[in-house]
Amino acid sequence: MDVLSDVVAVTRTGLPRSAHVRWHAPWGQEFASVPGSAGFQVILQGSCRLLPPNAEPIQLDAGDVVFLPHGSGHTLADSPETLVTAPACAPDDREPYDAYASDSVDRSGGGGPVTVVLCGAYRLDPSRTHPLLLTLPDLIHLPARSGDHPELRSAVALLAAELETPRLGTDAAVPALLDTLLLYILRIWFKEQPARGDTTGWAAALNDPPVTAALHAIHRDPAAPWTGAKLAAEAGLSRARFARRFAMLIGQPPLGYLTWWRMTTAARLLRTSEAPLRSIAHQVGYTSEFAFANAFKRTYGTPPGTYRRKSRDALGARVEG
């Protein structure tokens, strides 16, 4: 797998939530901050204003996509002067993330123009958030421009159709389309950063062929016996030059990132599979279960078996709740 695919597969937990909402002006809706999540708003019809905290309103028109990678609170309204309702959350004790768990909703306001919004959220694992996501701004706005990003527009159209008219297979189609939407948003954002003058960090790394080649090698086969020299060869650079370039863009040495990714992958396998510890150890590059257990405990502060039991207990409690 490549870096972006792995970021989505590993850091997201559970199923993403989404809703197809139709508002009638005048209307205003506050969306509460949801730590440990990433949210999005897509304007399907009409227009509105996004009101970020302590910032100027942003005009949103049909086709605009807004991504909030850190679950920041915000408000949507037909006008900055419209009074907004309480945060968009369920009327009981469920957390705000659950507000997105609906298919198609009609929110009657007045008799004015209609705005249709596709809104949703992804629950992330805050303990293992990929550093790529941590470098993103609080809000990413991708304006609709004729002919731009046809893949993103197609994903939005398919997702909107599934939510507006659920059919056989919708329960399987929606999570897959939400993951596709997230990947397209991230792909577009990182591709466009060099044009905005961003030449540092992950935006630069994903547009740097040598560093990207090394990252893809790590993600494609984390169990391989990688060394600094072997990763430099993947990058086509001398070992010293590669190490400097990788650390400057990624923020840590190549082998430090390799260890971090191996432990992140191991944690996902412990949470989501029944594979024995020896098998997981081999999948992330350890020939000895003992060495793997020691490395995992250094990273997470608990042995892998204990981590697996606690993760299962937490998941069971969440399902029962």
State the greatest distance between any 2 C-alpha atoms of the chain, in Å, as a whole number: 68
Q: Among 196, 225, 240, give the residue marking a domain's end.
A: 196
Residues 61, 145: contact at Cβ < 8 Å? no
* Residues 191 and 100 placed together within one structural domain of the fold: yes
* Residues 160 and 215 placed together within one structural domain of the fold: no
Residue 106: helix, strand or coil by DSSP? strand
Indicate whether 66 belongs to any domain. yes
Residue 293 and residue 265: Cα distance in Å, rounded? 14
* Residues 293 and 183 placed together within one structural domain of the fold: no
Indicate whether 203 belongs to any domain. no
* Residues 116 and 253 placed together within one structural domain of the fold: no
Q: What is the number of domains present in the chain?
A: 2
Residue 81 and residue 289: Cα distance in Å, rounded? 62
Q: What are the phi and psi torsion angles at 120 (to 5°)? A: -170, 180
Q: Among 157, 173, 196, give the residue marking a domain's end.
A: 196
Indicate whether 311 belongs to any domain. yes
Per-residue pLDDT of the chain (321 residues; tens, 9 = 90+): 578 888 877 777 767 888 888 889 988 888 888 888 888 999 999 999 999 888 889 999 999 999 999 989 899 999 888 877 656 544 344 455 555 555 567 776 677 899 999 988 888 877 677 888 888 899 999 998 767 889 999 998 998 888 888 899 988 898 888 889 989 999 898 888 766 666 668 888 988 999 999 999 999 999 999 999 999 999 999 999 999 999 999 999 999 999 999 999 999 899 889 999 999 999 999 999 999 999 999 999 999 999 999 888 776 555 444
Q: Tell me which residue range forms the domain holding 289.
A: 208-317
Q: Burial code of 122-131, b = ≥16 C-beta within 10 A, e = fewer?
A: bbbbeebbbe
Residue 88's CATH number: 2.60.120.280
Cα atoms in the Cβ-side hemisphere of radius 13 Å centred on 28: 16
Q: Among 172, 196, 220, give the residue marking a domain's end.
A: 196
- DSSP 8-class letter at 206: T
Indicate whether 202 belongs to any domain. no
Beta bridge partners of 76: 29, 50
